[in-house]
Amino acid sequence: MEFTISVDYPFSLEYSLESGQAFRWQNTGSWWVGVVAGRVLKMRQEGDLLRCASGSDDVDASFVRDYFKLDVRLEDVMASIMRDENVTKAVQTFYGLRLLRQEKWECLASFVLATNANIPRIRGMIQALCARYGKPLQFEGIEYHEFPGPEALSMAPIPELRECGLGYRAEFLRQVARSVDEGRVDFSELSMMGYEDARAALLRKLPAGKVLPGVGLKVADCALLYSFDMDEAFPIDVWVARAVSKLYPDLARAAVAKTFASPHSKLSARDYERLSARLRSYFGPFAGYAQQYLFMAARSEGTPQGGAPKRTPTSRGR
């Protein structure tokens, strides 16, 4: 199935796919190829045209429009978050960046894996998991894999998961998979709640322990922002914390001063809460978009490593 979508609104395929929301897209020269909801999707942007191809015939324009949230009026979003020149600049630099509407399970699982890892590593873990547990898909003579469902992962032996490079995250992922598989969290219920309630539900503790171990404030915010359409969620990772402390010292104040005081102390739960609440009220109902633009800006600027690869490939010379 091949089709074209015309875009007469702000949209950048590249920025949207490279903004660290989704981990499975690959740039193969002139095309982006990803697996979305069990379908291989190949895309490229040519000015105001979006060329799409997929092996599945149920992948059509509305499928793509849904995933990229193309019906969101980004002009309105931008206008609403541009409260000062910092965001304004980031919004202009990454003009057309949109939040995606990802699959809920994949998104939650991915961000459980993302803790204390960097993006190349996260991609590697997910790639390995998909290759091992995901249903194979063929497209243009190449094999791809679905993201494995909760059922498959809940049964996976821990050593096997570790072989995928998960490390200590293996236990978390399996338990999360089990909780989802056994219905202790219900995504359709969550999606009907407000942001605060949904987040509380994700963080829920039972007498037996956490329903979703490995899901803390930041992971919950990512899941809600990237797959539940909760645009006010404002995940704060180290990059955003850096950006915010630099650009909004008044908002960040106590919280981040502490973070920088000692070498690698992270934001405490309390500071995270306080800071993200302030940022939500500062940026408004689309605060999550502001977060994404600021994240991109921070990464493109002060990258200790990992932002713009300035190195030539080390083919392990010898």
Partner DNA sequence: GTCCAACCTGTATC
Partner DNA sequence: AGATACAGGTTGG
For position 220 contacting DNA by CB under 7 A, the verdict is yes
From candidates 168, 182, 186, 189, binder to DNA by CB under 7 A: 168
For residue 50, give the nearest of 63, 36, 35 by alpha carbon.
63
Span interacting with DNA, options 60-68, 146-154, 217-225, 275-283, rule CB under 7 A: 217-225
Cβ closer to DNA: 54 or 232? 232
For position 34 contacting DNA by CB under 7 A, the verdict is no
d(CA 77, CA 73): 7
From candidates 116, 138, 281, 300, binder to DNA by CB under 7 A: 116
Give the active site residue among 69, 104, 218, 246: 218
d(CA 272, CA 254): 11
For position 212 contacting DNA by CB under 7 A, the verdict is yes
Long-range contacts of range 182-190, CB-CB < 8 Å, 24 or more positions apart? 182/154, 184/211, 185/211, 185/212, 187/104, 187/105, 190/228
> Rule CB under 7 A: which of 51-110 touch DNA?
none
Give me the least distance between CB of 2 and DNA, in Å please. 29
d(CA 219, CA 309): 26
Alpha-carbon torsion (305, 310, 316, 318), positive or negative: negative
Question: Which residues contact DNA by CB under 7 A?
Answer: 19-21, 114-121, 124, 162, 165-169, 172, 209-210, 212-220, 222, 235, 237-239, 262-266, 268-272, 295, 304-306, 311, 314, 318
Residues serving a catalytic function are 218
